[in-house]
Amino acid sequence: MKELPENFYAGDLFGETIQAENASEEHPGTAYLPGLAICATASLAAMWLADHYGFPLILLGLLFGLALSFASEDGRTHAGLDFAARHGLRLGIVVLGLQITVMQVAALGWLAFAGLALVMLAAFGSAIMASRLIGEGREAGVLAGGATAICGASAALALYGIIGPRRLDPTRFSIVLVGVAMASAIAMTVYPVLAQILGLSDAQAGFLIGASVHDVAQAIGAGFSFSDPAGADATIVKLARVAMLAPIVALVAIWLGRSDDGQSEQPLWRKIAVPWFILGFLALVGVNSMIEVPLAVRENGLTLSKTLLLLAVTAAAMRSRLALLLEAGLKPLVPVFAATLASFVTALAVATLMLE
């Protein structure tokens, strides 16, 4: 197999990869096996630990991927790792649409939805501001703010496809994923306790948790740890945030431009073009809203979505270089925690002032 150039990195998960001209050749099927095999093995290990010890699944996949990043020094793993990173993300986001209906979003009511919009704006605004204050640039702020405001790692992956590795290097992307997973795990444990201490009602606690915990499974689990009614409310609020993935990705594409090659002059239709997998996500939301999808199908769909996203995160981490992680330091984490704090404070204010 022809060796890929040193600067090859399939970091743009929309498939608009940075690669040399000779890297566009099709790979034989067997070329994918080494990378896919090692990525699948690491993902299975992460699943086992998450199932038996309760660790956050995406964080484990990311850490296993970083620990095995030396494997990507062998060019034979590149094709499989890049395939898992790109297509795992795309299909995982599409299947996530089975968890949401238009009716669930509408059931929030306009007051709660307005409050949720404030929480998301606070997360975006604080992340962008913090990023600029520490000299990381707006792209790092958009990535951290979007991951915090919408649905954690899957939102980060989708937004990184818009931003691209030329505007934000893969190392900083990996650090943001670590920060989002850490912040979500802490929030899942702490927020229900704080809600109890503050004497919040079921509706208030459900909104607080659903609006400010990043990961979908952790938000739902934290809501039900408070009470069953709070868990139901947290589920609807969290899924409403996930439903904003497509429009926010489209708006970010318009703002930043789909191309990351520094060219600002693009036709309008190029800027507003939405990738096929975002359209697929919306299509499944529509199907799930119009017909009653069997519970088993939705449960299996959630498992499949999490598995595909785990593969994508693990593969992307394996393509990162740990030496660059050390060089980047902890600065990329600042926007993540600024957005996390802002979303919690805003969600708490909305819950106590606007909801009964």
The token pair that represents 58 in the structure block: 């995406």
- Identify whether 12 is part of a domain: no
Average pLDDT value over all residues in the chain: 78
Residue 23, pLDDT score:
39
Has residue 179 got a pLDDT over 90?
no
Read off the pLDDT of residues 296-311 as tens digits, 9 standing for 90 and up: 988 898 888 888 888 8
The token pair that represents 69 in the structure block: 């990043």
- Identify whether 51 is part of a domain: yes
Has residue 63 got a pLDDT over 60?
yes
Residue 272, pLDDT score:
44
Domain that holds residue 266: 31-354
Residue 278, pLDDT score:
66
Residue 275, pLDDT score:
60
Q: In whole angstroms, what separates CA 66 from the centre of its chain?
A: 17
Kindly indicate the confidence band of residue 12, based on its pLDDT and cuts at 50, 70 and 90: very low
- Identify whether 10 is part of a domain: no
- Identify whether 153 is part of a domain: yes
- Identify whether 207 is part of a domain: yes
Residue 15, pLDDT score:
30
User: How many independent structural domains does the chain possess?
Assistant: 1
Provide the H-helix boundaries in the chain: 33-53, 57-67, 78-96, 102-106, 110-133, 138-149, 153-163, 170-197, 202-212, 216-226, 228-243, 245-256, 268-272, 276-290, 295-318, 322-328, 333-354
Read off the pLDDT of residues 22-41 as tens digits, 9 standing for 90 and up: 334 456 668 889 999 999 99
Q: In whole angstroms, what separates CA 312 from the centre of its chain?
A: 11
Q: What is the mean pLDDT of residues 106-129?
A: 87
Q: What is the per-residue DSSP string for 255-292?
A: HH-S--SS-----HHHHHPPPHHHHHHHHHHHHHHHS-
DSSP SS3 for 200? coil
